[in-house]
Amino acid sequence: MYSLEHQQYLKKIKRHNFLVRLTQLSIITLFIILWQVLADYRLINTFITSSPKHIIKTIINLHQTHNLYNHILITIYETIISFALGTMIGIVVATILWWNRFIAKVIDPYLTILNSLPKVALGPIIIIWVGAAMDSIIVMALLISVIITIIDIYHGFNSVNPIKLKLMQSFKATKRQIYFKLLLPSNFSNIISTLKINISMSLIGVIMGEFLVSKQGIGYLIMYGSQVFNLDLVMSGIIILCIIAAIMYYLVLYVEKRLTKY
């Protein structure tokens, strides 16, 4: 049994978290209401900004014509594949860089240059090399997510507590032991934070790829809507993307909470 003081502390934390969630929902709700009121009284041009009612009607129409879920599933599938590949490649490459300082020094400037390079500029080359298909979308997403993953995780490996590192080295610990007993446990929160960034960067890469080559997916819907000046379709695609991004973000949070229990 918890002490009375500890119970009060837990209640205080729960109350704080509840107020945070309530405030977040209130901000979204007030924004939607204000948006609709401005549209109803024609204070904004709904041809340019759309409105919540128009967005709901558009989503319902996509549902009725059986076009909605296929586009959503395509985008989610591409995002999950690029997220999984980007995470695995990022961790493996960051491990290699930490393991071999010579390779790290050689690769470091290239990582910086590739990270600062606008990936969309490589779109035409990717399409020519990989083909105008789903593969090129996944490659585009990988280019955006994997470099950031490598840099963040490698930086976390290098930021490990030097006292603990020296202690393990003084006990003649091997690099393998240091990696599994010190680096990975110490960087758990950093890796989770990188995953949160990686999921959003993968989604951005997928949408950019769909803008360029896809005939399916939420990115295609947004691009098609802009081409035919259907802003209701564009805004509907953006809202759906926000929902997908939120769901994926909270899935990572859920995994984090489950892992921190053990």
Quote the pLDDT of residue 131. Answer: 80
Quote the pLDDT of residue 98. Answer: 93
Q: Is the pTM of this model over 0.75?
A: yes
Instruction: List, for residues 48-74, the tens digit of each pLDDT value.
Output: 889 999 999 999 998 888 778 889 999
Residue 179 and residue 102 in one domain: yes
By the 8 A CB rule, do 218 and 58 touch?
A: no
Residue 5 and residue 128 in one domain: no
Residue 11 and residue 103 in one domain: no
What integer is the mean pLDDT of 185-201? 86
If you ran DSSP here, which 8-state letter would residue 183 be given? I
Quote the pLDDT of residue 82. Answer: 92
Residue 65 and residue 183 in one domain: yes
* Helices 68-99, 218-227: crossing angle, 10 deg rounding: 120
Residue 70 and residue 38 in one domain: no
More confident residue, 258 or 179: 179
The domain tally of the chain equals 2
25-to-20, 21, 28, 237 alpha-carbon distances in Å: 9, 6, 5, 21
